[in-house]
Amino acid sequence: MLLGLWSARLVHGSGDFFVAGRKLGSGLIFTTMIAANIGAGSTVGAAGLAYRDGLSAWWWVGSAGLGSLVFAFWVAPRLWRVATDHNFYTTGDYLEYRYGTAVRCAAATLVGLGTLALLAGQLIAGAAILNVLTGIPRWAGALVGGGIMTIYFTAGGLAGAARVNILQLAVMMGGFALALPIVLQRVGGVSALQGAALPASFTDLGYSAGPGSGWTLFILLAPAFIISPGLIQKSWGARSESALRRGIALNAGVLLVFAFAPVLLGMAARAAIPGIENRDMALPMVLLELLPAWLGALALAAVFSTEVDTCDAILFMLATSASKDFYKRFLAPNASDAQLLRVARVSAAAGGAVGVMLAIVLETVISALTIFYSLLVVTLFVPILGGLYSRRADSAAALAAIAAGVAAMFIVRFAVATTYRWLDPTLAGLAAAAIAFAVVAGVRRNHLA
């Protein structure tokens, strides 16, 4: 919080708050990307999945790493060039430039709703850590975590968060690097994760029990890390295209390796502490019960740090979208730079408050995150990539893709998947969006011809 408040001196206008003045080198791009990508899902959520399914939970974070490689070399550089040429601040700026106002508004609204669920997921995980340490209830833990990230992000925006993320990254990596070998030693080594009391599939990386499990997570997560508005907007803070590529590629490599850490800790929890009812508690409990007190505290601080640093990335999406995509675009087109900055900070504070309230209502980390990733993918994946690689598609094709994708996702999730459990709602939404985009673009091209 103190570092974030100190970083407020770096913010002289909305450009510093939104895109850090486009001055971030590869090192700061790496830290702010990895901080956004390793959060509740990557630690508490992945360990909980590993407690249930075993090694195949690697796909939760591993898919993010694979998606980040695509983002680093084939998507982010093209978007960065367009954003730099036209001084874009938000993904909504790009969508309006490519398709028009209606697409910008529809995408911003849908992603905003999903983003609040994502914020709640991070706060749920942070509250679980504080509950294990102090016994305070979820609402109090969510309020503490929400207060911390709201204060430091509201003060410094992206310019400040990128620097706070360096401290958070050091705590996170140090805690996990020290905790993992000791926990594995306490449970009897890696061989103990193949015990007779554990499922035969527990050490199978290719296992999947259906949608939301094992390798099928790739369908849900990899596209999300290619077109996430928060990651796109962070990438626009890069000072050069080469710094952008290096920073995001390094982030991808770390994700692919780090993916094993929470999974092995979750598997160790299953071997040492069977019978945990709430799997979100698997990681906090294994760190508390299988480590010396000092190291358990450091490891839990590392986990809490991952939740908080991802929260600032989510507030970044909320604040920039609310202030630029709605306030500046529709309510006050002539607003001054100072007014835009003030509204961005107010939006961040309001988003933090709503996130805390949702964290009290939603049940688990994974349930909250799945809402966000599904909505994000079916809303933005086809319009963003279609806009980059197809010059003929227009607003009608993009709106058709968004409508078909969201409709198909909800129909499958709530009506079809109850009977056909193998059918993935996100994949169905993606397929429907791609088909609608191609059909409408083709029909309108023929009509115009």
Res. 83: pLDDT tops 60: yes
Rounded Cα gap, residues 227 and 383, in angstroms: 10
Burial 11-48 (b: 16+ CB within 10 A, else e): beebbbbbbbbbbbbbebbbbbbbbbbbbbbbbbbbbb
410 and 338 together in one domain = no
70 and 173 together in one domain = yes
192 and 279 together in one domain = yes
Rounded Cα gap, residues 80 and 131, in angstroms: 42
405 and 369 together in one domain = no
Q: The domain containing residue 15 runs over which residues?
A: 2-374
Q: Is residue 149 part of a domain?
A: yes
User: Would you state the pLDDT for residue 390?
Assistant: 86
Q: Which of 340, 374, 408 is a domain's end point?
A: 374
For 37-106, the DSSP string reads HSSTIIIIIHHHHHHHH-GGGHHHHHHHHHHHHHIIIIIHHHHHHHHHHHT--SHHHHHHHHT-HHHHHH
423 and 305 together in one domain = no
User: Would you state the pLDDT for residue 280?
Assistant: 79
Instruction: Compute CA distances 320 → 42, 130, 154, 308, 315, whole Å.
Output: 24, 29, 11, 18, 8
Closest by alpha carbon to 267, among 210, 368, 212, 191? 191
Is the CB of residue 326 less than 8 Å from the CB of residue 108? yes
Torsion of CA 332, 336, 339, 345, to 10 degrees: 100
343 and 434 together in one domain = no
Contacts 24+ apart (CB under 8 A), 288-295: 288/132, 288/133, 290/182, 290/183, 290/186, 290/187, 291/179, 291/182, 291/183, 291/186, 292/182, 295/178, 295/179, 295/182
Res. 134: pLDDT tops 60: yes
Q: What are phi and psi of 106, to 5 degrees?
A: -65, -45
Q: Is residue 381 part of a domain?
A: no
Q: Which of 3-12, 117-126, 321-330, 395-404 has the lowest mean pLDDT?
A: 117-126
> Domain containing 333 — which CATH number?
1.20.1730.10
255 and 355 together in one domain = yes
User: Would you state the pLDDT for residue 82?
Assistant: 96
For the segment 422-430, the average pLDDT, to the nearest whole number, is 88
Q: How many domains does the chain have?
A: 2
User: Would you state the pLDDT for residue 117?
Assistant: 75
Q: Is residue 384 part of a domain?
A: no
Res. 449: pLDDT tops 60: no
Q: Is residue 91 part of a domain?
A: yes
Q: Is residue 413 part of a domain?
A: yes
Q: Tell me: the pLDDT tens digits for 8-21?
A: 888 889 999 999 99
Res. 420: pLDDT tops 90: no
Instruction: Compute CA distances 425 → 48, 114, 188, 232, whole Å.
Output: 22, 15, 40, 25
272 and 418 together in one domain = no
291 and 431 together in one domain = no
Res. 183: pLDDT tops 90: yes
Q: Is residue 383 part of a domain?
A: no
Rounded Cα gap, residues 180 and 54, in angstroms: 16
- Chain-wide mean pLDDT for the chain? 89
User: Would you state the pLDDT for residue 168?
Assistant: 85
User: Would you state the pLDDT for residue 301?
Assistant: 85
Query: How many Å separate Cα 193 from the centre of its chain?
Result: 29
367 and 433 together in one domain = no
349 and 406 together in one domain = no
The residue ranking higher by pLDDT, 76 or 158, is 76
* Model confidence band, residue 393 (pLDDT cutoffs 50, 70, 90): confident
Res. 355: pLDDT tops 60: yes
Res. 364: pLDDT tops 70: no
The residue ranking higher by pLDDT, 301 or 201, is 201
Q: Tell me: the pLDDT tens digits for 218-231?
A: 988 999 999 999 89
Q: Is residue 438 part of a domain?
A: yes
Q: Tell me: the pLDDT tens digits for 332-354?
A: 999 999 999 999 999 999 998 88
187 and 161 together in one domain = yes
Q: Which of 319, 342, 374 is a domain's end point?
A: 374
Q: Which of 374, 398, 419 is a domain's end point?
A: 374
Q: Is residue 380 part of a domain?
A: no
Residue 79 structure tokens: 């978007």
* Model confidence band, residue 317 (pLDDT cutoffs 50, 70, 90): confident
